[in-house]
Chain A
Amino acid sequence: MTDIKIEMKNIGKVFETDDVETHALKNVDIVIRAGEYVSIAGPSGCGKSTLLSLLGLLDMPSSGSYIIEGHDVSSLSLDEAARIRNEKIGFVFQSFNLIDELSVFDNIALPLQYKKELPTDEFIKARVEACLKMVEMSHRADHKPNQLSGGQQQRIAIARALVADPAILLVDEPTGNLDSKSGDTVMAVLAELNKNGTTICMVTHDARYANMANIQLKLLDGQIVKDEPLKVAV
């Protein structure tokens, strides 16, 4: 199936301390196809963030195989993983993780500067402006992140995640640090992006937002207990 963006098979993650092994994830199988909007929900400590870290190649699985757009990425070196993250994955953090010293424009342009082949200035400008437009933040391009509200910062973080045209957008508790109004705005932006074809995988503990996805995964004790498309997409 060529439209499979992400495929995880039998993924496990074990955290080891001196004499204790903690199985954070066990036998996780996930398939995400192009254009899908997947939410991962579950109680605190069930392994949501761990799963998202593995999906985003921020961490490596202890077992199982992980394929992104047909490439096996289960055991990459740190630099290879960085390269894949840069090319294939867009990450949106709960706490935005924008760089305070850079302007909004520069924050969004950052992933392009880590490309193997550095794009031209014109391309960067056009791409950043397009992303700013997508999140309706064009008027804030020259501001610093600390001059923006939480919701605005998260929209900038989404723009940054989109700028390198990733295969999938991984979103970690996007509304966790926001008030409900800002949270709604951010979720609307994500829904709009998905409507326009962006594949999204989102971790959330908020059932209201989890329901906005067309596929809902439920995690419990490190295992997927529910994996089904919603009948009605919000």
Chain B
Amino acid sequence: MRTFIRQHKQAWASLKKKPGFVLTVLMTMGITLGALLCAVTLNYLLLVEPLPYPEQERLFVAEHKLIGAKNETKAVAFTYPGLVHLYKSKEAFEQAAMLSYGGDVIISHSSQPLINAAYVTPEFHQILASPLALGRLFEASEAIDTYNPVAMLSYNTWQNEFDGSADILEQKITLSGISYRIIGVLSKDFIEPELGEIGQKTNVWMPWDYNQAGERQRESFGNISGNLKFVGLLKKGVSPSQAKQLLTPLVSNRWVEGVADTDFFKGWSIEMRVRSVKEAILGQSESIAVMLLAGVIGLVLIACANISNLFMARTAEKQRQMAIQAAIGATKTHLFKAMLAETTLLMFMSIVLALVIAQTGFYIMQQYLGAVLPRINELSLNPITFGCAVLVTIAFALFFAKLSIRMINYRALNTTLQSSGKGSGLQVSKKTRQVLIASQVALATVLVFANFSLLKDAMKTINAPIGFATENISTLVLNFSSTDFPTQEESIPIMAEVMEKLEALPQVESISQGRSPIDGFSIRALTNVADNERYTPYLKGADHRYFNMIEQPLIQGDNFTLVDRKDENNVMIVNQAFAKQLKADGDVLGLQISMGGPDPFKIVGIVKDIAIPGDTPQDQNSDAVGTGVARVYVPNGLGGQSFMLKLKPGQTVSREQLGKLLAEVDSRYSVFSFNASSDILTQSLFSEITTAVTTAILASLVFLLAGIGLYGILSYGTQLRRFELGARMAIGATRKHLVFMIIADNTKAILAGFIGSIVLFSLAYIGLSEYIQPFLSWQMVPMIVVTLVLIILVTLFACYWPLRQYINQPAIFSLRGSD
């Protein structure tokens, strides 16, 4: 033990004299190992760690797959009565729950905050065994059809909106005109399953009965909604496939019965999909997490190669000290232990920094990637992180010590002192140096190319023209705070007055009734009357000012008129993509389209296509994404409670200002949401922006590390050749000769690196072809060229930079000491 302490004290004293070396090792290994710990913990959390719910292995979601007449999947979403039918059947599941998501405004609260609401049957929190901070969970008294107006708050909502009030259980909140008694507050430790969307954070939980589905939707088997979910504990001994077999006929038969009088659904059926809650939450995140881990491992390998170079240089520097130690009786093992003490100390310091960086990384991920990766709030330093940290510390400490000691020719070291320092007991062989250069180039090429490809893909989506204006346009959605909903006739004059007042605001340039395209479309089943062909395009209600405001060009026919809206004329505007689906030549003006009602709609105009990020074509046979998505527009009613406001450049309107304005017109109305279209567009591109930023940072880091690494090893090589360079200069070599010589000498290693990168790519393709295949196209060629050029430039720089100190000085500088 005493020897151990002494060795580490000596190592510390020795390292203290080399703060630059220590700092470089610390920063390089600390940052990259921090990223590694982050990626390992994330992958463990997503791929291995069980969900934090009891009996989570029996926790499954059931989903409704709408199968078309040609056996194609039309959509994956429940119909309201279909879901209730499944819930009430109690088949396959021991315990099951329904839930529906929505947004609402707490009218009774002074700041009238917009909150995320979830409407659940009592079993939901019972299955999850949700921990409580206060009160109770929903129970039988809140079961379906009991209409008991009670609510549960999330811990954060209790803290943020109600200041953690101790008497919260005696309070009531009002949403959409209904007063709910607060019966419970969920614990801080409750982890909500992200079934609706990644990053789902429900503020207020209410009984299922109060969900936001309209009366028509509650009855209709023809309306599907992505907001409706079913989750339950599978009966013991029932497998997911058995559950699927049991549930499919049960649900499908009821659905077919329910849509029997709708021709549109003729030949369609329902297939149930039963998958684990974990799988449903994970979605596509598995590949993101694995790719992140692969990228970080690449970074660690590059960093490891860099630090290996530094350790080799350090060993060379310690030659004399080691020679003295050897002369007074130190064996090779003694030297190894001394070196191990140094590498252990360095790796220990690096791992401490890495843990700090990992914790910071978790925080950053929780702040910025909450909408991209699920379960991110569960990330924390855990036994896996610490276990990985310990393993990494031991492995790297041993590796660097072993590598350094391998450089020592112990026999030659013994003669070093005898020959007055001439000759060398240590040297990294040319072959080792060439292998290091080749591996650096190979890794850097693979990582830079992979990052560039992802960056280019993300930038392509970010920069893709959307085909409509979002600048200065915001969507205002009103909230009606009473259960006594006005009729269409009653709301028309109210909305007209609201519009008048909004238009009179000095900040407002123009106004349109309806929502911006970026706020979303619904999906509607349509039939072409001429040939009875069925379609499911995106649909939106628009007023007569809509296309002008968003600058979406009308390329054929007419726009809607105010009269169309007043008289509720059955007219329709379609986009080019839908026009081409209806008729190959796109000439569809006058065509009759049935929306299921008695009178078909007549196509009066064709508008240019727009591209909304994330929109996929409803026609499963089409590959088009964004542009090429079929869309139809119909005149909206005059009583609609949504408006697009185009503000004058540089002007803003606050939510409070709008709230006051609405209160002046009718106190039952308040602001539900008021969002800038450009903000929503940015949000919808969040995943791409995150990818772009991450890959750009990774690519820069790779360049930096590769540059440092190549510089390190080439610098070491150049240093070894100092006298040779001096001799060449003495016999007449110019600087150009020497630069070319160094480049030529390293060309073989660089080429080997490029070949190595092709091998790595091929191996990655064999192992990960499903992820890589979508990226393979001729468009990769410029990326390959750019990557190769950049890597060559970095390598040329690394060749020249260490050389400059010799070739830019008189030859004698290099020769000094050669004798």
Residues 715-749 of chain B, each 1 if its beta carbon lies under 8 Å from chain A, else 0: 00000000110111111111111000000000000
Q: Is A53 an interface residue (CB 8 A)?
A: yes
Asked if A58 and B811 make an inter-chain contact with CB atoms under 8 angstroms apart, the answer reads yes
Nearest to B815 among chain A residues (CB) is A58
Provide 30 A-B residue pairs closer than 8 Å at the C-beta atoms, listed in order of the A residue: A53-B812, A58-B729, A58-B812, A58-B815, A59-B812, A78-B808, A78-B809, A78-B810, A79-B735, A82-B733, A82-B734, A83-B732, A83-B734, A85-B730, A85-B731, A93-B727, A93-B730, A95-B818, A95-B819, A97-B730, A97-B815, A99-B724, A99-B727, A111-B732, A114-B728, A114-B732, A114-B733, A114-B737, A115-B732, A164-B731
- Which of A57, A87, A164, A177: most chain B CB closer than 10 A? A57
Q: Is A91 an interface residue (CB 8 A)?
A: yes
Q: Is B634 an interface residue (CB 8 A)?
A: no
Q: Is B807 an interface residue (CB 8 A)?
A: yes
Complex Cα distance, B730 from A174, in Å, reads: 16
Nearest to B726 among chain A residues (CB) is A97
8 A-B pairs closest in CB distance: A86-B732, A97-B727, A58-B812, A58-B811, A59-B812, A114-B732, A94-B819, A59-B810
- Chain A residues near B723: list those with CB within 8 A: 95, 97
- Chain A residues near B815: list those with CB within 8 A: 58, 93, 97
Q: Is A160 an interface residue (CB 8 A)?
A: yes
Residues 45-85 of chain A, each 1 if its beta carbon lies under 8 Å from chain B, else 0: 00000000100111110000000000000000011011101
Complex Cα distance, B730 from A97, in Å, reads: 10
Residues 159-196 of chain A, each 1 if its beta carbon lies under 8 Å from chain B, else 0: 01100100000001100110000000000000000000
- Interface size class for chain B? 20 to 34
- Chain B residues near A130: list those with CB within 8 A: none
Given known pairs A93-B815, A94-B819, the reply for A111 and B735 (CB within 8 Å) is no
Q: Which residues of A contact B (CB under 8 A)?
A: 53, 56-60, 78-79, 81-83, 85-87, 90-91, 93-95, 97-99, 110-111, 114-115, 160-161, 164, 172-173, 176-177
Complex Cα distance, B588 from A10, in Å, reads: 100
Complex Cα distance, B724 from A85, in Å, reads: 16
Complex Cα distance, B734 from A134, in Å, reads: 27
Complex Cα distance, B731 from A115, in Å, reads: 10
- Which of B724, B734, B809: most chain A CB closer than 10 A? B734
8 Å CB interface, B784-819 against A? 807-812, 815, 818-819
Asked if B732 and A78 make an inter-chain contact with CB atoms under 8 angstroms apart, the answer reads no
- Chain A residues near B728: list those with CB within 8 A: 99, 110, 114
- Chain B residues near A83: list those with CB within 8 A: 732, 734
Please give the distance in Å from B819's CB to the nearest CB on chain A.
4
Asked if B810 and A82 make an inter-chain contact with CB atoms under 8 angstroms apart, the answer reads no
Nearest to A84 among chain B residues (CB) is B732
Nearest to B745 among chain A residues (CB) is A101
Asked if A79 and B734 make an inter-chain contact with CB atoms under 8 angstroms apart, the answer reads yes
- Chain B residues near A95: list those with CB within 8 A: 723, 818-819
Please give the distance in Å from A153's CB to the nearest CB on chain B.
12
Complex Cα distance, B536 from A25, in Å, reads: 95
Complex Cα distance, B812 from A93, in Å, reads: 12
- Chain A residues near B819: list those with CB within 8 A: 93-95, 172-173, 176-177
- Chain A residues near B811: list those with CB within 8 A: 57-59, 81-82, 85
Nearest to B813 among chain A residues (CB) is A59
- Chain A residues near B727: list those with CB within 8 A: 93, 97-99
Please give the distance in Å from B727's CB to the nearest CB on chain A.
4
Complex Cα distance, B736 from A83, in Å, reads: 12
Please give the distance in Å from A12's CB to the nearest CB on chain B.
16
- Chain A residues near B730: list those with CB within 8 A: 56, 58, 85, 91, 93, 97
Complex Cα distance, B727 from A122, in Å, reads: 25
